[in-house]
Structure 1
Amino acid sequence: MPVDYKFLTQEQRDHFLEHGWLKIPNAIKKQYVDEFMRDYWIRIDYDEHDPSTWKEDYVKLPRHRDIPVSEFCPDAYKAICDIVGGEDRLDPVRNTAHGDQFIVNNGSEYWEKHDYPPATATGWHTDNDWYRQFLDSGEIALTIIHLFTDIDLRGGGTYICEDGIKGVCEFFLSHPEGLDPPFPKETYTHVKDCKVFTEMTGKAGDTYITHVYLPHAASKNHTRKPRVIANPHVTLRSPFIFDRPDPADLSLVEQVVLRALGVPRLPAAEYAPQAVRRTYYPRNYTYKGARIQEELERLVAHAKKEGKGEESVDSVYLRGGETLEAFNKRQGLDKPHGPNKFPEGTRSHQQIEVIKRAVDDPVEPM
């Protein structure tokens, strides 16, 4: 039956179809922005007032706590449901809560004095570090960008390439055998010829909802004012369907793909995955997870300094048990590692030059 839009206006729906993203101002409840940021400087172990202590200009932190999406950012959740075609299409477990896995862009003295135009940026990508990618994969339908600090122009806001969606869709369409992460560089070489770039700016509490195939890249922070975001994802119960009998039942996220390919529908007879679907432990959590223990030690030490006990520290890793087990399942941390895992103890992103493919036998379907 046709998608029932309960929140988005026609203007917002048209904007998502044309640009591949939608901004929801003041989406995150202020209490969560404040609570999550309260121990930020303790976790990262920098002096808030001394940029010389900011040893890394770009840092990815682990998640210690999360909140159900409908509670954390109610309006953004309503928009997400509309964009994917209804709440019933959402996975009931994976990515059902958003948390404090911060991505920090501090900038540096060098970038205070030099420019970094988006057309020259490196590292263009679409998110997926935990499943075999097909054009119709529903493991990630949307990438969410939550702002935890104000971000001005040139303040380190994520770059997005609006006219890059077409090339990404065409690339995945040409690989029905599926691609295990990380993807080959050829996936995004077309971005250098694109023309429509946007820098994600806004106020703390704003949320950007972006199509999974919208290429994005880190910009440089020219202001030396810390930029803190989080980028959770939206997972579907099942893959995209590009040939629904009733076109009105196509979700906005499916329509974006069809528009990019220039077709009204994509019958299964013309496109179908030619390999089994696979899911893995998220690669990037290896280097985020390497920071967990030292963050816990700093948080506990700070609590004791204030005359409080360890129980006052809000981290799922100190609670353990069923709480931690459910937390891990929401993030896929209970999955086996894929063929291109980072070595244990890795603390920062690195490129694996030789990309291996997982062995398909034996395999458990998604």
Structure 2
Amino acid sequence: MPDISTALTPAQVDSFVTDGFVRIDDAFSRQTAEQARAILWRDTGCDPDDPSTWTKPVIRLGGYADAPFREAANTPPLHSAYDQLVGEGRWLAPQGLGTFPIRFPSKEAPGDDGWHIDASYMLPTDDPNDFFSIRANIKTKGRALLMLFLFSDVEEDDAPTRIRVGSHMDMARFLLPYGEDGATMHQMIAGNFADTEKCPQALATGPAGTVYLCHPFLVHAAQPNRGSGVKFMAQPPLMPAHGFDPALPPSPVQIAIRKACNLNI
């Protein structure tokens, strides 16, 4: 049996710091993916064997705590990788997975394919009814990692998530002046997500069971499904156990921010 005490090689950890993400193959089993898909198909209200029932480009489903989802998020290789990227004892074991944007082949625009980062919290003074008031700050409050769990095989035509390689560095510099309060989505959109169009683009492809662990500041986007199959993916956060602790060695998440901003956080 392979040694999973360290799931990621030093080169992969370095790549995470530089590029903002790392791909883990066979992070969970195809059997687990199949079991989870059966639950998700049921809740879409669509028939997996009848494409005439696939009438929307995307159906969003919430979080799931059923056994297949808990198992997918808590395999030994993933726990090891969480430790390596966030720090041992600094993250909370996922109790499930979500949300699930289920993407169907369609000529209709999905309407949710803009570039963004996943923000995490609001201030008491923010409007809870305004989605774009949600915030991110330089200390990645409320989010240790962005994670992409592939529950179906995803090739280039199957709506793989688009990733701007290295964009987490630009976003760190953008967020720095906003301090502890952080920037709202309104402000990040106005800043064109730190003008990250210059970044090279990667696609989050892979067979079912593949997981991408991403820096919380990584700029990414959905895209239409131009293939013939349905894409099943979860995009949950890994939740932090606590905020950055200057008494602890910096994690790779922190090291990336330090390098981008020349900070000691």
**TM-score normalised over the length of structure 1:** 0.60
Matches for 1:305-344 after TM superposition, within 5 Å: none
Secondary structure of the corresponding residue to residue 244 of structure 2 = coil
- The range that moved more, 194-203 or 24-33, is 24-33
Distance 2:30 2:52 in 1: 30
Detail structure 1 runs of 4+ shifted over 6 Å in the superposition.
none
Distance 1:183 1:66 in 2: 35
Matches for 1:252-267 after TM superposition, within 5 Å: 252-261=252-261, 263=262, 265-266=263-264
CA contact (8 A) 2:116 2:193 kept: no
Pick aligned residue for 1:219 from 216, 219, 223: 223
Shift of 1:228: 0.6
* Change in 2 beyond 3 A, CA 1:66/1:15: farther
Residue deviations 1:69-114, cap 9 Å, x none? 687432122101111121x1124xxx62233642211131368xxx
CA contact (8 A) 2:150 2:207 kept: yes
Secondary structure of the corresponding residue to residue 109 of structure 1 = coil
Partner amino acid for 2:105?
A: G
Shift of 1:28: 1.4
Aligned residue pairs, count = 244
* Change in 2 beyond 3 A, CA 1:13/1:179: closer
Matches for 1:194-343 after TM superposition, within 5 Å: 194-241=198-245, 244=246, 249-261=249-261, 263=262, 265-266=263-264
Distance 2:161 2:215 in 1: 14
Shift of 1:216: 0.8
Partner amino acid for 1:152?
A: E
Q: Which has the higher contact order (CA 8 A, sep 6+)?
A: 2
Equivalent pairs: percent with the same residue? Answer: 23
Matches for 1:146-185 after TM superposition, within 5 Å: 146-176=149-179, 178-179=181-182, 181-184=184-187, 185=189
**Which of the two has higher C-alpha Rg?**
1
| Ranges in structure 2 where 5+ consecutive residues have no aligned partner | 123-134
Secondary structure of the corresponding residue to residue 217 of structure 2 = coil
CA contact (8 A) 1:161 1:191 kept: no
Shift of 1:134: 2.1
Distance 1:127 1:216 in 2: 9
CA contact (8 A) 1:134 1:172 kept: yes
| Ranges in structure 1 where 5+ consecutive residues have no aligned partner | 112-120, 268-366
CA contact (8 A) 2:162 2:221 kept: yes
- What is the root-mean-square deviation in Å for CA atoms of aligned residues? 2.6
Q: Hey, what does 2:119 align to over in structure 1? A: 128
Q: Hey, what does 2:9 align to over in structure 1? A: 9
**TM-score normalised over the length of structure 2:** 0.81
* Change in 2 beyond 3 A, CA 1:166/1:105: same
